[in-house]
Amino acid sequence: MTPSSTHLVLIPSYNPGPKVFETVRAARQNWNPVWIVIDGSTDGTVESLQALANHDSGLHVIYLPNNRGKGYAVLHGLDAASAKGFTHALTMDSDGQHPADLIPAFMAESTRMPQCMVLGVPVFEASAPRLRVKGRKVSNWWANLETLWAGIGDSLFGFRVYPIEPLRLVMRHHPWMRRFDFDPEAVVRLCWHGVKPINVAAPVHYFSAAEGGVSHFNYFRDNLLLTWMHARLFFEFVLRFPLLLLRKMKK
């Protein structure tokens, strides 16, 4: 597969277990290049991923010795990708939940509309955890309110294509959005900066523990983090409201 000089797949990874190898192989079957940022993993996957990269020029491994959070890992990867001349990055989780076979379609949509971000809108299976499916509706409602309904189909789903420079700029100016709060805060702030969302449906599969699924989601900690994030964003939204309203009225 001919490597892209503009778009890459960026996979932040923290203790994902064996599923990460399936994820990486599936991503490589559908795109070149694929970068994985190992965020302080201690599960023994580091050496094996590096071994894969040693025999695959389309796979690049970045190792961060300390766990700093998903947003931090993504930003580190974006900085490195920007230095290499890449303009767009498709982010996906390392646990196999995201549909690697849709990478080419998402990249094509990004190429068609490079000034936009392409957001995956999850299509859940019946086996998906009900609490998480229903709970994300709250975050989605707040994200749409904070952007005056700019069209965010889903604020939390991490399978999406970002234009690199606008996202780097946003993250450099805001010290939060480094952990689980990265995905929703990124889309809200990018909307504020005029990056329009394009929504594309994408199936998501939650693997059980018996299937090798690994989840680092903590209901109390991460919902508290989201609550604090939306409180901050809403305060800024109130300050930005006249400008956002004027922008919306001009459309």
Q: pLDDT tens-digit profile of 172-221?
A: 999 888 887 899 999 999 999 999 999 999 999 876 655 555 565 555 67
Return the amino acid letter for 154.
D
Average pLDDT, the chain: 91
18 or 33, higher pLDDT: 33
In the structure, what pLDDT confidence band is assigned to residue 34 with cuts at 50, 70 and 90? very high
pLDDT value of residue 248 = 85
pLDDT value of residue 249 = 85
For residue 108, count other CB atoms closer than 10 A to its CB.
12
Contact 188, 234 (CB under 8 A): no
The rounded Cα 13 to chain-centroid distance in angstroms is 12
Return the amino acid letter for 139.
S
Sheet containing strand 7-13, strands side by side: 59-64, 34-39, 7-13, 88-91, 160-163, 117-124, 197-204
Give the residue extent of every domain in the chain. 7-250
pLDDT value of residue 220 = 65
Distance separating alpha carbons of residues 183 and 246, to the nearest angstrom: 26
Omega before 33 within 30 of 0, i.e. cis: yes
pLDDT value of residue 209 = 59
pLDDT value of residue 74 = 97
Contact 92, 158 (CB under 8 A): yes
Residue 89 has pLDDT above 80, yes or no: yes
Cβ-in-10-Å burial (0-12, 13-18, 19+) of 18 comes to middle
pLDDT value of residue 207 = 60
pLDDT value of residue 125 = 80
Distance separating alpha carbons of residues 162 and 184, to the nearest angstrom: 13
Distance separating alpha carbons of residues 103 and 162, to the nearest angstrom: 13
For the entire predicted model, the pTM comes to: 0.91
Residue 141 has pLDDT above 90, yes or no: yes
Which superfamily does 7-250 belong to?
Answer: Spore Coat Polysaccharide Biosynthesis Protein SpsA; Chain A (3.90.550.10)
